[in-house]
A and B are shown apart, each in its own frame.
Chain A
Amino acid sequence: MSTQRSRFEFDPGFEDDRLRVAWYAVVGVLVAVGAYATYLRLTGGMASTNLTSIVPWGAWVAFYIYFVGLSAGAFLVSTMANVFEVEGMHRIDREALFAAIISMAVALLFVWIDLGRMDRMYFPFIWRQLTSALSWEVHAYVAYIGILVTELYFSMRIDLARVAERTSGLRERFYAALALGRLDTSEESQAFDQRWLKRAGIVGIPLAIFMVHGGTGVLFAVSKARPYWNSGLFPVIFVVSALLSGTALVMMIYVLRTRLFDGDSVDPDLLDRLAQLLIGFIIVDAALTAIETFIAIASLHPHEIETWQVIMYGPMSWSFWWFMIGFSWVFPMVLLSKRSWRRTPSVMVLAGLSVVIGIIAVRFNIVVPAQVMPVMEGLPHGSYFPTLVEWGTSVGMIGVGLLLYTLGAETLPLTPLSGGDHE
């Protein structure tokens, strides 16, 4: 054991203390802005939003499905390591799982603040409706978070035990508690963990694809009152764009955390593998969206055509052309096109960031345009742009996510202590 002990170096957290202070200051500002906006939201009620009965879903719903997507995508990237055992991916296994958990927590915060009666947020667990996609979804989210936490536990437990072994006092108890007291670092205990990690992953894959994110797509697609959403391809695109954003997120935080926290050099092969994955997802996402658009326009259904006109030429068309097409497809595709760029960490951070921001517009363009068109001729058209309260609360909830992620990254052995792949 003594030889092993010297092999594992555990020093999570920022390498540079000035960077730590600066980063926490930024996150603190985001959270403070969010806290004030949330105060306005709580006291002013839903009237503090620009939502109406014509456009009842807005920024909060868009961010909610965005973070569910990020989570599902990040989780599926993690399964490449722990279920499909793709070579060289174990390095980012916990990273992806932890990001998936935080994203899901942020997603649920967005759902919560969006409720007209926030005090009744537990009602869906008391009363249900079998035919309601949303009723199923809230249960799927809880089950999914359970799976994510279980997986992260089995993936990280042995390192928690190792850290507990080498520390003392409060820190020892903290890590021992996180390991749920299982402090055995033997080969058998590791094999046990890996077996259960894989099992949880196998349950998690269909849960994430069909229930969590596919289900969130279904939530929209069942709405026959909105022809723009009411298509079978819609939930599939949801899953693909989730994979796209999740992969981009994992790629980005892999580079940043390796550089800024571990002080290691980035593995160019792993980076290239993630980058190629990203290329594949961009192509599938763009192609399926094109098919969906073509079917909608070819149907000559006036509602469909007018909705697409709103998206492409309406007042918010910049979000479609610049963010959706530009930031989530074209710009990252350019950055991913050259092999040497794919192996350059800074370029890949830019590509990842571009996709992660671009997909926000994808989510907004899912939620809002379908509500601009009235459900019946003679009813008024909708228009919507979030208020400062909506932006502020959104920024705050994202800040909470960043804070939780950073705290986790500073304390948990998210990078396997043994280096890369499972020993």
Chain B
Amino acid sequence: MGYLFGSHPGQTVLVSPFPPGSVYVYVYEFPDQPAGAAPTARRRDDWQRVVAMSTADDGDTLPGIPNVGKADLDAMVENERPDPREELADVEADTDLGVSMAEDAQSVARGEISGDEYWEKYDEAAAEEFGDAYRETPNPAVDAGDQTVSTETAESLSCAVGSMDTVSTETAQVDDGEGGIGTGGEKWGMVIDLQKCVGCDSCTVACKSENRTPPGVSYNVVMEEEHGEFPNVTRTNVPRPCMQCDNPPCVQVCPVSATYKMDDGVVNIDYDRCIGCRYCNIACPYGARYFDFGENYDDEVEGAGEITSPEYGVDRGSREEGKSPIGNIRKCSFCTHRLERGEEPACVETCVGDARNMGDLENPDSDVAQMADSSRAFQLKEDEGTDPNVYYLK
């Protein structure tokens, strides 16, 4: 019902944390009674609503709450805050415009003016001030699904209209000559340094949340192997994504060609074609394929199926019964949707030990190509002839 909050002699205060914006307290009275007797209590008041209690007395009077000196903290923050005019003086752009845009942006945040009003007010001035740089950059207020300005306003703006995703995907397709992510025409490969892997499983977690995989589907797992007997025990953690084999047995067996090799080396699954026969599931020597039985995390997270990942670059909307990928086979796609916008796969980005590397295997100057060439490099089940594009470093 509430938290035991603190007590005065003869009184216990229980604070209940709901609903938002208010605090409720129960006050119980304990009559004097002989020591050792079972405590009896009588509630003195019904729910007492205490509004904005902490701001009213700075928390000082609430028993059990340490006084953190809120005023002091505020002063420290104020002290650290750079002076906007000084900061903006260092850049070429107009200082007055910058300060005024920043102040109004705070007003938008407080809800005093709308996003539409804000952008209508500054669009022209910003275009004049920043020129092409402004016009070619996507406006963060304009974004598919999460747009904060009206369509009319968005269209009237002189900056590039389009979601951050689409624009970043377009800008990612620029060859920087270094074989990094987003150069286009890559052959994707992953190198996992087993010496650096600590077996924390955060790649598995990152993968699940990035790809929004249902229960029983985990594109990445960490296989933990223990060898030897105590006290001479060694342990190896082998993360296992899809190997994106050059000779994939799954592609070989699919009766409808729903899974196939793409030019960038990734083995794709066409959810609109897969009939769910699970032959590829049987054929994969790495156990990397999972069947989507249609289970959900609805018991754990409300509306868990509402947001899905645009796997293989296709946004399929919310998860519904009888709609693909339910009833289909699923697997790691090297986060194709992230690669397309110039980002590393979620597991690579999240890895605490920087054990996972992503890049172009066909570019001899790329990190992954060099690592995959090293004497430490090996592939899983090399004698299967599958030629994986995931390499491991011993």
Contacts and interface: CB of A to CB of B under 8 A. Distances in A.
Interface string A38-49: 000000011100
A47 B249 contact: no
Interface in A313-357: none
B257 A224 contact: no
A53 B289 contact: yes
A172 B322 CA distance: 46
B181 interface: no
Chain A's interface size range is 35 or more
B249 to A, nearest CB: 7
B53 to A, nearest CB: 49
A135 B273 CA distance: 14
Nearest to B216: A53
Nearest to B324: A117
A128 B255 contact: yes
A127 B326 CA distance: 20
Interface stretch (B105-113, B186-194, B219-227): B219-227
Interface stretch (A118-126, A246-254, A270-278): A118-126
B217 A377 contact: no
B157 interface: no
A91 B200 CA distance: 70
Contacts of A47: 293-295
B285 A129 contact: no
A111 to B, nearest CB: 8
B274 A117 contact: yes
A116 B256 contact: no
Nearest to A128: B257
A47 B294 CA distance: 7
B93 interface: no
B279 A225 contact: no
Contact of A56 (B255, B282, B327): B282
Contact of B225 (A138, A219, A377): A377
Interface string B353-394: 000000000000000000000000000110010000000000
A72 to B, nearest CB: 20
B286 A117 contact: no
A26 interface: no
Contacts of B381: 376
A57 B253 CA distance: 15
A115 B255 contact: no
Closest 10 CB pairs of A and B: A116-B276, A378-B223, A116-B327, A225-B285, A135-B255, A56-B278, A134-B255, A53-B290, A56-B281, A127-B256
Given A53-B291, A378-B238, 4 more contacts: A114-B277, A116-B292, A376-B381, A378-B225
Interface of A: 45-47, 51-54, 56-57, 114-117, 120-121, 123-124, 126-129, 131-135, 137-138, 219, 222-226, 371, 374-379
Interface of B: 216-217, 221, 223-225, 238, 240, 249, 251-258, 273-279, 281-287, 289-295, 321-322, 324, 326-329, 380-381, 384
